Structure 1
């Protein structure tokens, strides 16, 4: 995104929002997959506690959804697009819900053309972009896109990256049109919050606990209440978002949540919040059977891979669909003659039991320092903290599907199709 220093992709509306509000440099999700992270957002509870651990699963019966707390405070809650996941939309008790994840400008305008706003409201809009499959209406030159250093630079990778960037800019345009329209209805006493539910579906992004999969954009605007053009280093999590909004409207927040309010960060009273960020991943059906846990501080990241003797895979490398993971064929071809490319692919499929990174010197998390004698004290401390947190969460380290052992051939699309039967 432009306000985060993007060199190629253009996001003028996001840049304007960032200039008018506060940008969080260290906002993180609870889990890098749609369903568990959205469940964490809506309940204020981490996956092991709310019950939605694996992707396409849902909170346990009886777990409170915080949108209902907004309604108890007199708010009507309107949702458009992908906000909750699947059948969880029924649990949210929306006052209105339009599930179409496209045509958001049209659907929002049509609803409010027939709806009188006569009290406080919360509007939640979930654009599907830049979820795969990425658009075929490409507005960027593949030769000019920038790639992370840990990508394999091929023609197909660049084409897909350009399509991804095109969807980011498409999201920006839709968001801008919706905000402009809503301003005419809602006025200045409106809190606007923009974020994303996990990193992009790229190798080492979605379904991983590296920052590329877990750190997310977060911008909050409230004219006259939140300082404009400010950035904060405060570490916050998606579980904190709804408790914060409830706090800002002077609402009671349910007890025993994992999430907590960062309202004092927004009002400029403090620039500190969480000392640690915990993140979990428990898999995605037969495509990704690779549970991971992590703890992150401002400087360090410790990752525990629960199945180091198995392959890490996901939809992208297994299905290789156009507009999603079709570039993987070009990666395999490059690896046949390029040792660096071969090393990247090996690192993707095979992970050690533990990883430890110094984010100050290695923000891309490429140099695993788990055996470095300089950091053994810190590693021991973070390892113990993660274990204690998992115990308190009731995390049973469940493996929900049958994993793919390294001793056997690497899984492919044919195997996946058989397993799906």
Structure 2
């Protein structure tokens, strides 16, 4: 690595299923720019978010700490700067650090570690989806089929916002004022987050009739885990009221949004090259979580399956192995030490669980490294936890039986091994790894206690269940 601080460009999309990437082997998706980034850098093949929903995931990305360490449990509890972010560390060291686009923190007024926020997108009215904090009883959301039925080829407020964020990022990168001292720039794009509406030229890249059949759908005889079935019964993501044609159209729109995202990533990377700073800039592309895209009869996020809890993660720049694939499990909490190492800024605060991706990329695969994710938000009857170690992944549901998968032989997670005696030692090992991180039951109770207190501040469960945007957070108004 260079003896001088690198610039760091972080591009974070929203809800990108890690499997839908050309570099990851998908034969249908068209992502030439992200594939080219992977070809000149390292792709982390087994990367996970800290919580498969926007606000807690982004709080963990900012702080390098898991939700159970911070109390940012759900989409009504936005990051407010109370815990130091990597941005605060950079500011203390005198680094320029700015953001453009979606952050999804509490609001733009809180000190969250940026010298400037351009076109920022945060929780609506600073409060977010209060209804998602109602855990007892879980409120049913009867607009579930709309997420799939309202789809196709069209521009939306989301795609127009992404175009504006991309324009602003390109202008920022090519402004000569930003070539005078090292910087860290974060860009947040919305695609491929629903609404599943892709600009027509990108929707037209994919024939709905040629969309692959999603795996593990209930009508194909696949029983969903009881925790997942409870979740599916109360939240958007159900698609049993949709037609097959609607599902295929929604999938084609999602693919189109991924290609639209790729187009914007390409524009940003071209601007970086034009700025003359590419040779001294570490570029990281990732997403805050994934999307089920119809697998198991579900859409959106919130689940521990790879489609939802997994994230794409690509890094390229000085000293990063080119054309490499790192199989060591990684997570978004690793971004904190990565950004600081690249900027040559030391951490002065709380010890954090992450490890620099620069170090992971430079070393042999670590079969013993553990990555972790947790979920306590909308639709969850109890806490859900994920432990990934080597090829095995555990889904631990408080009050329910676990799931265990061997991703080396079963990447689609079709065979639950949790009840097989020959895998009892693996299950026991992963449960011990989970217990070393937290007390599953105590953390579940703490999340529910904190959420109940928030709900009471909004007038109790009946009142709180009607507060907050029913679906996607609206983007900010764009300058005329």
TM-score (norm 1): 0.78
What corresponds to 1:77 in structure 2? 97
Contact 2:328-2:365 within 8 A present in 1 as well: yes
Deviation at 1:288, TM superposition (A): 4.8
Which of 442, 447, 466 matches 1:420? 466
Q: Distance in 1 between matches of 2:342 and 2:441?
A: 27
What corresponds to 1:18 in structure 2? 38
Q: Which moved more, 1:363-372 or 1:44-53?
A: 363-372
Q: Distance in 2 between matches of 1:249 and 1:94?
A: 15
Q: Which moved more, 1:8-17 or 1:387-396?
A: 387-396
Q: Distance in 2 between matches of 1:166 and 1:288?
A: 30
What corresponds to 1:291 in structure 2? 383
Partner SS state of residue 128, structure 1: strand
Query: When the two structures are aligned, how many residues end up with a matched partner?
Result: 361
Which of 352, 359, 365 matches 1:271? 365
Evaluate the alpha carbon distance shift between residue 110 and residue 184 of structure 1 in structure 2; reply closer, same or farther with a 3 A threshold.
closer
Evaluate the alpha carbon distance shift between residue 21 and residue 418 of structure 1 in structure 2; reply closer, same or farther with a 3 A threshold.
closer
What corresponds to 2:285 in structure 1? 194
- Which residues of structure 1 form unaligned runs of 5+? 309-352, 403-414
Q: Is 1:168 the equivalent of 2:258?
A: yes
Q: Distance in 2 between matches of 1:46 and 1:77?
A: 23
Q: Distance in 1 between matches of 2:464 and 2:353?
A: 39
What corresponds to 1:39 in structure 2? 59
Deviation at 1:204, TM superposition (A): 7.1
Evaluate the alpha carbon distance shift between residue 195 and residue 112 of structure 1 in structure 2; reply closer, same or farther with a 3 A threshold.
closer
Q: Is 1:155 the equivalent of 2:245?
A: yes
Q: Distance in 1 between matches of 2:187 and 2:335?
A: 15
Q: Distance in 2 between matches of 1:243 and 1:294?
A: 22
Contact 1:28-1:237 within 8 A present in 2 as well: yes
Partner SS state of residue 177, structure 2: coil
Deviation at 1:111, TM superposition (A): 4.3
Q: Is 1:123 the equivalent of 2:185?
A: yes
Contact 2:55-2:79 within 8 A present in 1 as well: no
What corresponds to 1:345 in structure 2? none
Cα deviation digits, residues 374-418 of structure 1 (max 9, x gap): 11222222223212321399734433669xxxxxxxxxxxx9999
Partner SS state of residue 124, structure 1: strand
Evaluate the alpha carbon distance shift between residue 63 and residue 228 of structure 1 in structure 2; reply closer, same or farther with a 3 A threshold.
same
Matches within 5 A, 1:17-416: 17-59=37-79, 62-87=82-107, 90-98=110-118, 99=120, 101-102=161-162, 103-111=164-172, 116-117=177-178, 118-136=180-198, 137=200, 138-139=203-204, 140-151=206-217, 154-185=244-275, 186-200=277-291, 202=293, 203=298, 206-223=301-318, 225-253=319-347, 254-266=349-361, 268-272=362-366, 275-284=369-378, 287-306=379-398, 308=400, 353-391=401-439, 395-397=443-445, 398-399=447-448
Deviation at 1:4, TM superposition (A): 0.9
Contact 2:80-2:111 within 8 A present in 1 as well: no
Partner SS state of residue 159, structure 1: helix
Partner SS state of residue 6, structure 1: coil
Contact 2:291-2:301 within 8 A present in 1 as well: yes
Partner SS state of residue 277, structure 1: strand
Contact 1:36-1:47 within 8 A present in 2 as well: yes
Evaluate the alpha carbon distance shift between residue 418 and residue 59 of structure 1 in structure 2; reply closer, same or farther with a 3 A threshold.
closer
Contact 2:174-2:272 within 8 A present in 1 as well: no
Q: Which moved more, 1:101-110 or 1:186-195?
A: 101-110
- Which residues of structure 2 form unaligned runs of 5+? 1-20, 122-160, 220-242, 453-460, 468-480
Evaluate the alpha carbon distance shift between residue 55 and residue 382 of structure 1 in structure 2; reply closer, same or farther with a 3 A threshold.
same
Pairwise CA RMSD:
2.8
Q: Distance in 2 between matches of 1:399 and 1:56?
A: 13
Evaluate the alpha carbon distance shift between residue 59 and residue 93 of structure 1 in structure 2; reply closer, same or farther with a 3 A threshold.
closer
What corresponds to 2:472 in structure 1? none
Evaluate the alpha carbon distance shift between residue 399 and residue 367 of structure 1 in structure 2; reply closer, same or farther with a 3 A threshold.
farther
Contact 1:29-1:238 within 8 A present in 2 as well: yes
Evaluate the alpha carbon distance shift between residue 228 and residue 15 of structure 1 in structure 2; reply closer, same or farther with a 3 A threshold.
same
Cα deviation digits, residues 55-95 of structure 1 (max 9, x gap): 33135773111111122233211211113433277332322
Contact 2:383-2:398 within 8 A present in 1 as well: yes
